[in-house]
Amino acid sequence: MKLDSNCPSGPIETRWERTKFDMKLVNPANKRKYNVIVVGAGLAGASGAASMAELGYNVQCFCHQDSPRRAHSIAAQGGINAAKNYQNDGDSIYRLFYDTVKGGDFRARESNVYRLAQLSVNIIDQCAAQGVPFAREYSGLLANRSFGGAQVSRTFYARGQTGQQLLLGAYQSLERQIGAGRVTMHPRKEMLDLIVIDGRARGIVTRDMVTGKIESHLADAVVLGTGGYGNVFYLSTNAKNSSCTAAWRAHRRGAAFANPCFTQIHPTCIPVSGEYQSKLTLMSESLRNDGRIWVPLHKGDKRPPNQIPEAERDYYLERRYPAFGNLVPRDVASRAAKMACDEGRGVGETGLGVYLDFEAAIQRLGAPAIAERYGNLIEMYNRITGEDPYKEPMRIYPAIHYTMGGLWVDYHLMSTIPGMFCVGEANFSDHGANRLGASALMQGLADGYFVIPFTMGNYLANTKLEKVDGTHAAAREAVERTTSMTKRFLGIQGKRTVDSFHRELGKIVWDHCGMARNDKGLRSALAKIPALREEFWSNVKVLGDNEEVNQSLEKAGRVADYFELAELMCQDALDRKESCGGHFREEWQTPEGEAMRDDEGFAHAAAWEYQGEGKTSIRHTEPLQFEYVHPSQRSYK
C-alpha cells in the first residue's frame, strides 16, 4: 500500500489556492450526469451533500437517524474557531495554524492544518448568511470568547448550542436541495458495506432500519462523513447510535485506518453514577473560563466542599501550569485529573471526580452573569445530578469524547480506495494527536463546504468510469455478504445481550487504552479482546427477525466492528512507543509527568491495512515534515 499525501509544496500560504487552480473542473452541464453518495448527515456530510448539490451533482445522502437534523454534531456546545481577528488581540490565520499544529502535538500535516485555518474565516461568513444566530454584541457585531487552551478570543458561539445551530444551518441547506430534487435523502438506512469495482469505490450496501431490506446503491463516488468511534468505550459522550461501522466496513474493503490510538478524553464530563449508566454527559469546556478546578489537598478528605478551607484546597492546574491555569489543553487537564484521583484525592462517592468551582466567578461577576454564560449547562447538570452549582461546586471527570484517528485521507480527503472520500471526524487528517477545543465544528464544515466540492470535481474530471448498476457481481456479492452476516447474528441465539458484551469490551479499552497506557496493560487487552470476541460470536442473543425494526440487530453489527477496532487501537497504542497528545504511554514521560514525544522514531502517521478477520493488520507510515512550526515540547507552564 502506497501512502501519497498529495500535499502541495511551496509557500504554505498559497498551497490550497494553487491546488484549486491546478485541479480539473467538470463542465457545469456535465455535473448532473454524476452521482455522488454521501453517508452521514452531520456537519461534514450535510454541508458536503448540500454544497455538491448546489454545484449540480446528483447526490444521494444516507443517515441512520429518522432525520438528518439529528446527527451528533448537534450536541457540540462550546463554539467554533475562526481566525477573523475581530477582537484585535493578535489572532491570524498563521496563529490558528500554529496553535493547531502545536495543540496536536506535532502529529498532523502542516498543509492540511494551514488550509483549515484559512477556511475557518469563510465558514463564519457562510453560516452567518444562512441565519445561524451567533452571539452578538450590542453593536450588532459578532461576539467571541476564548476557549479551550487558546490565548486569543477566536471562538464564535450560539449560547451553549453552537453545534446545534451550525448543524441546523447545514441541514436547512440540505433540505433546500432535497426540496429542489437535487439531493435524494435516505433516512433510517445504515451503511453496512462498501462496493469496490475495479479498485474504485462505486457504491454502498445499506439496511433499511424499518423494513430490514438490504440493498445496493451505485454511484460514481462515495463520501463518508460518519463521525468518530468513541463508542468503542461503551461509555462516552457520543450519541448512543454513533458508531464506527461505516468507516470500519470501508476499512475491511481496503481503506487504511490511521492513528486509531489517538482518542481524546474530555476533562469536563459528569462523573459516572452507576452500573446502568448508558452514556456520559459533557459539560462544555467553556466552563473552565470561569470555573476553578480543585481537589482537597489531603488524601481521603471527605468533608463537603464548602467546609474545606481555602488553604486545604489544591487548585492543581493553576499550581502546575501558571501561564494557562484552568485553560490548559484537554489532554493535559484530563491527565491531571486522573493523577489527582489516583493519589486518592478524588471527590464524590466513587472518588473519581474533581471539583469545578464557580464561587470566585459568582463573587466577581454575580450569579446573573454566570447564568447568562452557562445557564443551560448548569441547568443540565442540576437535572442529572440533583445538585445546584450556584451553591456547591460541580463534580467533573474526564470521559472519551472525540477520536482524532480515522480513515487515512490525502490532501484531497481521498482514502486509499480511489473514489472514496472521508470528511469530518471520520477522517484522521487535521488534529494530530490532540484536538483543540472548538476545532471539530471548524474541521467538519471546512471539509464539507469548502474542500470536498472541489476535490470531488477533480476526481470525477480525471477519472473514466464504466456505467455500473446493482446487477454487477461486486454489488451482488456485497449484498449477499451483508445478508449472511445479519443471518449469522440472528442464528447464534446465545445467552448474553449485545449491550453486556459492549459494556465489557468498553471497560477493557478504557482500563488499558484510555487516559494512560502501558506495555503490560495493552498486551493484556490484546489477549482479552479476541477471547471476548469469540464468546460474542457464539453466545450473543439477538431476538426477532431482520424484516422489522430490530434495535438489537443494529447494535450487534456495530459491536462486532468495535471488537476489531478495539484490537487495532491497542495494537497501534502498543507500537507507538512515545507519548503524544491524547496518547500517553506511561513509559515515556518527563520527571514532572508530562508527555514525552519521540520525534526521531514517531513523527509519522501510522496507517493500518486490513488483512482479514483475526489476522494482524500491516502498519504503514506516512512521515510528517514540519517546515513552519518546529516541534518542541509543548509547555503550558
Q: Which one of the spans 170-178, 464-472, 566-574, 607-615 is the region binding another protein (CB under 8 A)?
A: 170-178
253 lines the binding site for another protein (CB under 8 A) = no
- Does 236 help bind another protein (rule: CB under 8 A)? no
Binding to another protein (CB under 8 A): which residues in 583-602? Answer: none
> Which of 15, 31, 69, 109: binder of another protein (CB under 8 A)?
69
Complex with another protein: residue 206 or 579, whichever CB lies closer: 206
Helix or strand run (H / E) with residue 362: helix 359-365
Among 370, 380, 573, 605, binds another protein (CB under 8 A): 380
**Residue type (1 letter), 380:** M
When asked if residue 269 is in the footprint of another protein (CB under 8 A), the reply is no
Query: Taking CB under 8 A as the rule, does residue 619 contact another protein?
Result: no
x/- site string to another protein, residues 463 to 492, per CB under 8 A? ------------------------------
If one asks whether residue 344 binds another protein (CB under 8 A), the answer comes out as no
Minimum separation from the CB atom of position 369 to another protein (A) = 15
Applying CB under 8 A, the span of 238-246, 307-315, 430-438, 567-575 interacting with another protein comes to 238-246
Among 35, 483, 500, 524, binds another protein (CB under 8 A): 500
Q: Region of 132 please: left (phi>0), alpha (psi -120 to 50) or beta.
A: beta
Question: Closer to another protein at the Cβ: 397 or 428?
Answer: 397
DSSP one-letter code for 32: T
User: Which residues within the stretch 210-229 sit at the binding site for another protein (CB under 8 A)?
Assistant: 210
Smallest distance from the beta carbon of 281 to another protein, in angstroms? Answer: 6
Sign of CA dihedral 76, 81, 82, 88: positive
- Which member of 15, 31, 84, 412 binds another protein (CB under 8 A)? 84
Please report whether residue 281 would count as binding another protein according to CB under 8 A. yes
Instruction: Select from 60, 100, 126, 429 the one that contacts another protein (CB under 8 A).
Output: 126
* 71 versus 629: smaller Cβ distance to another protein: 71
Residue 130 makes contact with another protein by CB under 8 A: yes
- Give me the sign of the Cα torsion angle 338, 341, 345, 351: positive
DSSP type of residue 63: -
Helix H or strand E encompassing 183: strand 183-186
Cell numbers at 596, concatenated:
514525552
| CA 181 – CA 176 distance, rounded (Å) | 9
- Range 172-191, binding another protein (CB under 8 A): 172-173, 175-176, 178-179, 185, 187
Cell numbers that stand for 114 in this block: 494551514
CB of 384 to another protein, least distance (A): 7
Minimum gap (Å) between residue 485 Cβ and another protein = 20
How many Cα atoms sit within 13 Å of 296 on the Cβ side? 19
State the Rg of the chain over Cα.
Answer: 24
Phi, psi for 181 (deg, rounded to 5): 80, 10
Binding mask 534-573 for another protein (x = CB under 8 A): -------x-xx---xx-xx---------------------
* Residue closer to another protein, measured from CB, 133 or 322: 133
Dist CA 420 CA 202 (whole Å): 8
Long-range contacts of 618-623 (CB under 8 A, 24+ apart): 618/1, 619/572, 619/575, 620/1, 620/3, 620/256, 621/3, 622/3, 622/5, 622/258, 622/408
| 140: contact with another protein by CB under 8 A | yes
Beta strand 58-62 pairing with 35-39: parallel
**Among residue numbers 423 through 462, which ones bind another protein (CB under 8 A)?**
449-450, 453
Residue 471 corresponds to which amino acid? T
CB atoms within 10 A of CB 565: 25
* Angstrom distance (rounded) from CA 366 to CA 356: 17
Assess 68 for contact with another protein (CB under 8 A). Answer: yes
Nearer to another protein, 355 or 501 (CB): 501
Shortest gap between Cβ of 181 and another protein (angstroms)? 10
Least gap, CB of 182 to another protein (angstroms) = 11
The stretch near another protein (CB under 8 A) out of 1-9, 90-98, 269-277, 612-620 is 269-277
- 197 - beta bridge partners? 200
In angstroms, give the least distance from the CB of 547 to another protein: 10
- Residue 282 contacts another protein per CB under 8 A: yes
Q: How many C-alpha atoms does 316 have within 13 Å on its Cβ side?
A: 21
Question: Can you tell me which of 19, 65, 264, 482 binds another protein, judged by CB under 8 A?
Answer: 65
CB of 336 to another protein, least distance (A): 25
Q: Which is nearer to another protein, 174 or 525 (CB)?
A: 174
- Please count the residues of this chain forming the interface with another protein, following the rule CB under 8 A: 81
Grid coordinates belonging to 349:
462517592
Closest CA to 78 of 333, 327, 434: 327
Residues 622 and 559: their CA atoms lie apart, in Å, by: 29
Q: Find the shortest distance in angstroms from Cβ 496 to another protein.
A: 9
Q: Which of residues 29-58 bind another protein (CB under 8 A)?
A: 47, 50-51, 54
Three-state SS at 35? strand
Strand order in the sheet with 189-197: 189-197, 200-208, 214-218
Residue choice 17, 89, 137, 198 for contact with another protein (CB under 8 A): 137
Q: Is 384 in the site for another protein (CB under 8 A)?
A: yes
The answer to the question of residue 164 lying near another protein (CB under 8 A) is: yes
Q: How many CB atoms lie within 10 A of CB 327?
A: 21
State in Å, rounded, how far the first CA of the chain is from the last one: 42
Q: Does position 168 bind another protein by CB under 8 A? A: yes
* Three-state secondary structure of 508-571: HHHHHHCCCECHHHHHHHHHHHHHHHHHHHHHECCCCCCCCCCHHHHHHHHHHHHHHHHHHHHH
Residue among 124, 399, 414, 568 that touches another protein (CB under 8 A)? 124
Identify any residues that bridge with 203 across adjacent strands, giving them in sequence order: 195, 218
358 binds another protein (CB under 8 A): no
Residue from 87, 184, 350, 497 in contact with another protein (CB under 8 A): 497
Beta pairing class for 200-208 and 313-314: unpaired
Among 23, 35, 98, 142, binds another protein (CB under 8 A): 142
